[in-house]
Amino acid sequence: MEMNDLQARIEQLKKETNAVILAHYYVRDEVQQVADYIGDSFYLSKLATDIEADTIVFCGVSFMGESAKILNPRKRVLMPDASADCPMAHMADIKRINQLREEYEDLAVVCYINSTAELKCCSDVCVTSSNALKIVRTLPNENILFIPDENLGRYIAGQVPEKNFIFNDGFCHVHAGLSADGVKAVKSAHPRAKFLAHPECKPDILALADFIGSTSEIIDFAGRDEAGEYIIGTELGVLYELRAKCPDKKFYPAGDSLRCQDMKTITLEKIVHVMETGENEVHVSDALRSQANTPLTRMLQLAH
């Protein structure tokens, strides 16, 4: 089927199955075009609690669909590709978390939403890149174990010197793949451009940034800023929204690594397939759901 036919079929299926499509900014342009809502991880998780339609088709990686199901268990959540997973979501060790809990009496385990439901179950609160600073500052605990992303953890820790942070060595290969020399070369090729970076980038990359924020924050910054030229230090799916919102501004990739294969695996054909067949429905056991729901709900409360 041609792209237009697939998009028309999806619109028809939305009506027939009372479904809405949620998409992260990193998915393919043509997938963002059929989405009812597009956003960063925080926006999409908040939104998942308010959806009235029977079915949520989640165009994102597995922790996103899983979080939507945990937050709104009565909905049917379909993933267009069940293999789309965020490698970082698995990069923390439950044994180490338990050991540290024994060592530090007041430990708060702060869990980036890019994590499995099992890791969320071992955590006190979830965060995303757009609310982590606010939430960590609100916590009464002095000792913070930040999982799984070391780079986001270090970025937040740098702004909260009054707390003792313990890090975990997880990382996003897409953002961590940027090199400082590569970014410097793009900066010298575009000396008037501001460098906008996601906090999943390594500290030496963040040191070069004019602005650091989540995907939505990067898009908002580019929309209101006057510079007119920007080097983008996050996955390049954001270019779709950036170009739509700022047609007169120029955007340059900060490096060649900025493609998340897991996000790009979602296609229009796969969306049609799951909407027609009901395949790839997200299931979370009641026990896992009720435990993982606590840190997610606490995030939604503390982020206000």
DSSP the chain: --HHHHHHHHHHHHHHHTEEEEEETTS-HHHHHH-SEEE-HHHHHHHHTT--SSEEEEES-HHHHHHHHHHSTTSEEE-S-TT---GGGG---HHHHHHHHHH-TT-EEEEESSS-HHHHHT-SEEE-TTTHHHHHHH---SEEEEESBHHHHHHHHTT-TTSEEE---B--HHHHT--HHHHHHHHHHSTTPEEEE-TTS-HHHHTT-SEE--HHHHHHHHHH-SS-EEEEES-TTHHHHHHHH-TTSEEEES-S----HHHHT--HHHHHHHHHH--SB----HHHHHHHHHHHHHHHHHT-
Quick one: 7 or 151, whose CB is closer to ligand 13P?
151
User: Using CB under 6 A, which of 214, 230, 271, 274 touches ligand 13P?
Assistant: 214
- Residue 41, interface with ligand 13P (CB under 6 A)? yes
- Residue 109, interface with ligand SF4 (CB under 6 A)? no
Residue whose pair of structure tokens reads 């909905």 in the numeric block: 75
Residues 149-188: x where in contact with ligand 13P by CB under 6 A, - otherwise, as a string: -----------------------x----------------
CB of 40 to ligand 13P, least distance (A): 3
Q: Point out which span in 154-162, 245-253, 256-264, 271-279 binds ligand SF4 (CB under 6 A).
A: 256-264
Token digits for 35? 């989405």
58 binds, among ligand SF4, ligand 13P, none (CB under 5 to 8 A by kind): none
User: Using CB under 6 A, which of 7, 40, 275, 296 touches ligand 13P?
Assistant: 40
- Residue 116, interface with ligand 13P (CB under 6 A)? no
- Residue 45, interface with ligand 13P (CB under 6 A)? no
Positive or negative: CA dihedral 211, 180, 235, 126: negative
- Residue 86, interface with ligand 13P (CB under 6 A)? yes
168 binds, among ligand SF4, ligand 13P, none (CB under 5 to 8 A by kind): none
Which amino acid is it at 258?
A: L
CB of 141 to ligand SF4, least distance (A): 25
- Residue 172, interface with ligand SF4 (CB under 6 A)? yes
262 binds, among ligand SF4, ligand 13P, none (CB under 5 to 8 A by kind): ligand SF4
123 binds, among ligand 13P, ligand SF4, none (CB under 5 to 8 A by kind): none
User: Using CB under 6 A, which of 48, 61, 274, 275 touches ligand SF4?
Assistant: 61
- CA dist 159 and 294 (Å) reads 26
* CA R_g for the chain: 19
User: Using CB under 6 A, which of 7, 62, 67, 128 touches ligand 13P?
Assistant: 128
Binding residues for ligand SF4, per CB under 6 A? 26, 61, 86-88, 114, 172, 174, 200, 235, 260, 262-263
Binding residues for ligand 13P, per CB under 6 A? 40-42, 86, 114, 128-130, 172, 198, 200, 214-215
